[in-house]
Amino acid sequence: MSVNIVLAIFVTSLATFLSRILGALSSERIKETSKIFKWFNCLAYATLAALISRTIIFPVGILNEASYFIRLIVVVLSLIVFLISKKNYVYPTIFSAFCMSLLSNFF
């Protein structure tokens, strides 16, 4: 392996583990009801929503071959499965993959 690849792996691993260690050390002093915790929680959900929206609106790779209509149908059906399954994340994730493959093959 090249020295640059090893260095890149080392630096990214250091950044990842350093942030996790600092989060673990400071987590005991943060209350879940504090405003800063709620703000970070909202920030995390907003980032996730933005990434999902970007994937649906501007897909990359093989998802680009599916039409907007099929992607919209899969999102709506997955939200329904999410609400029916009492906000479980596993069922809509599996359902969305199955539904996307089924709809994109037949339409």
Task: Note the pTM of the prediction, 2 decimals.
Answer: 0.61
In contact, 41 and 49? CB cutoff 8 Å: no
pLDDT in tens, 51-60: 988 988 999 8
Query: Which residues have C-beta within 8 Å of that of residue 57, sequence separation ≥ 6?
Result: 68
Distance in angstroms (rounded) separating the CA atoms of residues 106 and 74: 14
pLDDT in tens, 9-23: 999 999 889 988 988
pLDDT in tens, 75-103: 999 999 999 999 898 999 999 999 999 99
